[in-house]
Amino acid sequence: MRLKGLVALMLSLFVLAGVALAAGAAVTLTNSSDWQLDHLYLSGDEKDTWGPDLLGDELVAAGGTAKLADVACAPHDVKIVDNAGKECVLKAVDVCGKENKWELTKEAVAACAAPAEAPAK
């Protein structure tokens, strides 16, 4: 009887551990870019669909921070949208970074701010 109780307890602990792991991480975003972030979306690396806006109603000013909840720690494509509606897509970003901290730098969004190159003739 004790063995059955111990097995049931161990199974419960494994289930609870799985739920905790599946919940994702809380990530602190530091916006070191010049963009005000009005929206932030994640997509699995190389996927064609975007998840929900992780900022919700929150805006993240240049130099500001935000907490992103329930983030899977894996490479993501990230779409940010500024206050003028300009979009920037960053490919294969490790948003959990070091110790669940991610810094969006000026260099990361520089390609989005640069004028498009003219096609070669």
Residue 42 domain flag: yes
Residue 11 domain flag: no
Q: What is the pLDDT of residue 100?
A: 95
Residue 12 domain flag: no
Closest by CA position to 102, among listed 48, 47, 46, 37:
37
Residue 1 domain flag: no
Q: Does the predicted TM-score (pTM) go above 0.75?
A: no
Digit-coded pLDDT (tens) for 25-65:
999 999 999 999 999 999 986 778 999 999 999 999 999 99
Q: In this structure, what token pair is assigned to residue 49?
A: 């669909």
Closest by CA position to 31, among listed 103, 117, 82:
103
Domain count for the chain, please give it.
1
Q: What is the CATH number of the domain that holds 62?
A: 2.60.40
Q: What is the pLDDT of residue 70?
A: 92
Strands (E) in the chain, as ranges, are: 25-31, 37-44, 65-71, 75-82, 87-94, 101-104
Residue 70: domain span:
23-109
Distance, in Å, from the CA atom of 91 to the CA atom of 23, rounded to the nearest integer, reads: 23
